[in-house]
Amino acid sequence: MVLYTYDGSFEGLLTVVFEAYERKAWPDKIEPEHQAQPLLLGQTVAVTTDDAKANRVWQGLQQRLSAGALRSLYHTYLWEQPGFEMLLFHYVRLAFSSPENIEGNFTADCVLQVQQASKQVHREKHRMEAFVRFQKTQDGLYYAAISPDYNVLPLIIDHFQKRYADQRWVLYDLNRRYGTYYDLQTVTLVSLEKTDLPVKQQGVLQKSAFDAEEAKYQELWQVYFDHVNIPERKNPKLHLRHVPKRYWKYLSEKQPRQFKT
Amino acid sequence: MDNKITDKLRILADAAKYDVSCSSSGGKRKNENKGLGNAEGMGICHSYTEDGRCVSLLKILLTNFCIFDCAYCVTRKSNDIKRAAFTVQEVVDLTINFYRRNYIEGLFLSSGIFKNADYTMERLVRVAKKLRQEEKFNGYIHLKTIPGASEELIKEAGLYADRLSVNIELPSEKSLKQLAPEKNYAEVLQPMGAISKQLVLAKEEQKLFKSAPAFAPAGQSTQLIVGASAEDDRQILQLSNQLYKGYNLKRVYYSGYVPISTDIRLPIITEPPIIRENRIYQADWLMRFYGFDVQEIVDEQHPNLDLDIDPKLSWALRNRHAFPVELNTADYELILRVPGIGVKSAKKIVSARRFAPLQFDHLRKMGVVLKRAKYFVTCQTKSLQRQDFDSHYIRQKILFGGGSVRSALLTQQLDLFQQAS
């Protein structure tokens, strides 16, 4: 039994692949350092992330796979579900051991699973792009807190940077406790962990921090949402399929009405 | 809260909601001026109404004052409702503030006709122009083209809008005359033709000069009301077919008539024909993405779509000689014609079979739905079902067999029936 540990980064995981090939010792398990339990039997290899090694693996993959398949691999990393490291490893090994491109081979379990994981991540990414609601603060910053099922924040930055090039904004992942800030020039990672706030209040803005017109536009949006509906066509099942309840917390139109309808 | 603007939004959203188009895709407008918004590529539904329709755009009328009296329309002049009108600036402010908060992809602006067509069209264009030029807005704009508006105004509209649309509304000239006495087909088709002409021109110019201005890059669409007049599905689909081919339309939308009026010119119905509308959309998809000819879907013997089963299954049951399809060898186009197999599944099948001979187990893992398909396919000559069932039997099995969506409803009905006897 061989266990590889790494620092949890994507480059770290690619370094693990490099080391496994170098040692010709295929992993039975790959785990982030902070989660790994020491093995009673077998060998533990603690891998230090090495950009050069990670790059060589990535370049090797670039020769064998399309950009779409590489994206799916990165998605699988962000998917973060148990066993994703080994899934990635199996896929990479299949890619390196086959003479032809394997990304369309849906009869292989790892190819199918990577495709499915990537689809889930992509869907969550798309939902975040749709369901994020910015709130304007007094100093003109647009703020949105999110808590996506998968770690999709790195995937949505580009979308919001292109779209809101002329406004300052922050997207903050409440679960993973990091965020991104766009200052009209570049996007930087931000963390609120150093602040004195208790964990539960990190990333949650007080009502007094909002711009004077913020409440007005939230209400106008609620009014619009109520009046674009056609009651004769009511279809709750379809509605829930499109907007599962776990996303309602983001949506101002799903919050209680403060005005008379 | 500002009550005036709230009231206007209530009235003018209510009046616009029967226009079903909410697409925000297909634009190519990039944010290159460090302005606001980006409308390249995929559309996004930011919310869904309780009836399950996508909310992607701020869809409103500029005003619901109207000089026309179309029977099927809430805004018709003889209807006793509250009237309101937005100013150009109010629409701009709403759009920008909703967009900045990520509520919408852009604006869908239509209007009742006040004074005359050009006067109305000119106001719509002014909103779009202001958004583009003063607010540097690159989000999506869909403008309704008013029948009878001049070609110059349509040309200008196309410079600012991503999509233009003229609603045909009724599937035949006869119905249009009956229900919308002030309108005629010529007036509707004329702007549609003008848009189509400009679309072609702009494309040719862009081939020559990269910097040539884009004209409505997301193309044009139209809407037909289903169930407000007597046309059968065949007439409707043939019209759509002509529109797709003759006017380069991106989409024809179908709006099941919602009984909003008690006008004597209209049929008396209590519920909108939602299933019929759905079947027509399915048929529309078959024409656009599945390589079906309109004649194959509806013909003289079958002028209306079967409401119980989807049109592809219906076609397959009428054409059993084309089946079974062997999934390991059949052409992609033929696999697409198997009931229950969509574009994604067909592509996966064609891709995966290059690596290994496919078995039914592979298909299940890939997520190919076999409920309907199993009667029409083989995998390495094996079949999950006997292939000699007659069409009627297959139809019954799919509708009422195990795992069918309807079986719960039907068993309930059967129980009641048995109790009664």
- CB-closest option in B2, B14, B272 to A233: B272
Least confident of A186-200, A229-243, B245-259: A186-200
**B335 pLDDT above the threshold of 90:** yes
Specify the pairing of strand A169-173 against strand A178-182: antiparallel
The reply to whether residue B355 touches residue A251, judged by beta carbons under 8 angstroms, is no
> What's chain A's average pLDDT?
92
pLDDT of residue B393: 87
pLDDT of residue A205: 80
- The amino acid at B305: L
Domain boundaries, chain B: 3-297, 317-420
The reply to whether residue A162 touches residue B2, judged by beta carbons under 8 angstroms, is no
**pLDDT tens readout for residues A138-185:** 999 999 999 999 999 999 999 999 999 999 999 999 999 999 999 999
Domain boundaries, chain A: 2-124, 132-211, 212-261
Distance CA B313, CA B340 (A): 8
What stretch of H or E contains A135?
strand A135-136
pLDDT of residue B409: 43
Q: What secondary structure does DSSP assign to B245-294, as a single string? A: HHH--SEEEEEEPP-----TTS---SS--HHHHHHHHHHHHHHHHS---H
The reply to whether residue A239 touches residue B2, judged by beta carbons under 8 angstroms, is no
The reply to whether residue B366 touches residue A106, judged by beta carbons under 8 angstroms, is yes
Strand order in the sheet with A169-173: A135-136, A142-146, A169-173, A178-182, A187-190
**B382 pLDDT above the threshold of 70:** yes
Task: Assess contact for A225 and A253: CB atoms under 8 A.
Answer: yes
**B410 pLDDT above the threshold of 50:** no
Q: Which residue has the higher pLDDT, B262 or A140?
A: A140
**B343 pLDDT above the threshold of 60:** yes
The reply to whether residue B365 touches residue A251, judged by beta carbons under 8 angstroms, is no
Minimal Cα distance from B96: which residue of A?
A217
Residue numbers in A near B13 (CB within 8 A)? 223-224, 227-228
B23 Cβ contact partners less than 8 Å away, ≥ 6 residues apart: B43, B56, B142, B163, B218, B221, B251
Q: Which residue has the higher pLDDT, A49 or B25?
A: A49
Task: Assess contact for B45 and B55: CB atoms under 8 A.
Answer: yes
Beta strands in B44-192 (DSSP E): 47-48, 54-55, 57-61, 106-110, 140-144, 163-165
**B300 pLDDT above the threshold of 90:** yes
Distance CA A237, CA B409 (A): 16
Q: Give the A:B interface size as CB pairs under 8 Å.
A: 157
**B411 pLDDT above the threshold of 60:** no
Residue numbers in B near A65 (CB within 8 A)? none
Beta bridge partners of B61: B110
- The amino acid at B321: H
Task: Indicate the CATH number for domain B3-297.
Answer: 3.20.20.70
pTM, 2 dp: 0.89
pLDDT of residue A195: 66
- CB-closest option in A105, A220, A253 to B9: A220
Q: Confidence band (pLDDT; 50, 70, 90) for A196?
A: low
Proportion of chain A above pLDDT 70, given as a percent: 96
> What's chain B's average pLDDT?
89
Distance CA B77, CA B182 (A): 12
pLDDT of residue B65: 95
Chain-centroid distance, C-alpha A149: 8
**pLDDT tens readout for residues A204-230:** 788 888 999 999 999 999 999 999 998
How far A227 CA sits from the closest chain B CA (Å)?
5
With H, G, I as helix, E, B as strand and everything else as coil, classify residue A170.
strand
Q: Confidence band (pLDDT; 50, 70, 90) for B2?
A: low
**B206 pLDDT above the threshold of 80:** yes
